[in-house]
């Protein structure tokens, strides 16, 4: 199984390429959706890595893939500038997913 990165900036893409991970750089919602459609049906791809800004561009579609598909695993990472999510990202995610407050 391969990993695949979808990034909004060249620095993250180059860093992943140095680690042996193929990927693309996109900047529009339409491009994100198009690349995601191709990546999720590729049987070779086991992990899709997305930068936070990419997730923000197509949040609904990406969450739909996360909830309805077992493979590939979809991971959200910050870019080289750091996270824009704040400190309670995991707590917020659990609250949204499970509906309980921690």
Q: pLDDT tens digits for 20-29?
A: 999 999 999 9
Contact 45, 73 (CB under 8 A): no
Cα separation, 57 vs 32, whole angstroms: 8
Q: Which domains does the chain have, with CATH numbers?
A: 2-98 (3.40.50.10580)
pLDDT at 70 over 90: no
The dihedrals phi and psi of 75, each to the nearest 5 degrees, come to -120, 135
* Rounded-to-integer distance, Cα 28 and Cα 18, Å: 25
Confidence band for 17, pLDDT divided at 50, 70 and 90: very high
pLDDT reading at 38 higher than 90: yes
**How does residue 84 score in pLDDT terms, banded at 50, 70 and 90?**
low
Q: What is the pLDDT of residue 10?
A: 92
Q: Which residues pair with 76 in a beta bridge?
A: 50
Using the predicted structure, report yes or no on whether residue 73 has a pLDDT greater than 90.
yes
| C-beta neighbour count of 76 within 10 angstroms | 18
Which of 5-9, 43-47, 76-80 has the lowest average pLDDT? 76-80
> How would residue 67 be classed by pLDDT, with cut points 50, 70 and 90?
confident
């Amino acid at each position: 199984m391969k990993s695949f990165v979808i990034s909004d900036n060249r620095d993250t893409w180059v860093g992943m390429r140095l680690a042996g991970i193929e990927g693309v750089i996109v900047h529009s919602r339409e491009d994100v959706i198009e690349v995601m459609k191709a990546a999720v049906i590729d049987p070779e791809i086991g992990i899709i890595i997305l930068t936070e800004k990419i997730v923000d561009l197509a949040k609904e579609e990406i969450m739909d893939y996360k909830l309805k598909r077992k493979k590939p695993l979809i991971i959200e990472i910050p870019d080289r500038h750091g996270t824009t999510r704040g400190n309670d990202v995991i707590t917020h995610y659990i609250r949204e997913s499970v509906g309980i407050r921690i």
